[in-house]
Amino acid sequence: MSIDKDKIKHISQLARISLDSKKTDALAKDLSSIFKFIEQLNEINTDKTEPLSSILNEPLRSREDVINDGKIREKVLKNSPQKNEEFFIVPKVIE
């Protein structure tokens, strides 16, 4: 399938975008090469090929979910303009 300038102009009108003649020529050329490549891919016989979900042949290893505070409470609280021992103090938002 090849895309010519007329199809590009028609599509640009439908999409309500303006294209000058240089961009129209470049788009027609690029889209034609993309569609030619897609046609090549469609010709490949993939009947005996199974779909992949991963490139690894190993199952995913699960790990235990461990809660960790990072031990950086003091560093985080240094960023607060106001703090109360181990918490941020923020202004009341809802009255």
Token readout for 30 is 């690029």
Q: What pLDDT does 57 receive?
A: 80
Instruction: Tell me what pLDDT residue 88 has.
Output: 85
State the Cα–Cα distance between residues 49 and 45, nearest whole angstrom: 9
- pLDDT confidence bin for 41, thresholds 50/70/90: very high
Q: Is 73 contained in some domain?
A: no
CATH of the domain at 36: 1.10.20
Expressed as residue numbers, the domain containing 35 is: 5-42
Q: 74 and 85 in contact (C-beta within 8 Å)?
A: no
pLDDT digits (tens, 9 = 90+) for 82-91: 888 888 888 8
| Domain-embedded: residue 37 | yes
CA–CA separation, 36 and 43 (whole Å): 11
Do the domain assignments include residue 19?
Answer: yes
Per-residue confidence (pLDDT) for residue 52, from 0 to 100: 82
pLDDT digits (tens, 9 = 90+) for 55-73: 888 887 898 988 887 888 8
Residue 72 counted as domain residue: no
Q: Categorize the per-residue pLDDT at 43 as very low, low, confident or very high, splitting at 50, 70 and 90.
A: very high
- The count of domains in the chain is 1
Within-domain flag for 24: yes
What's the mean pLDDT when you consider all of the chain? 87
Inside any domain, residue 88: no
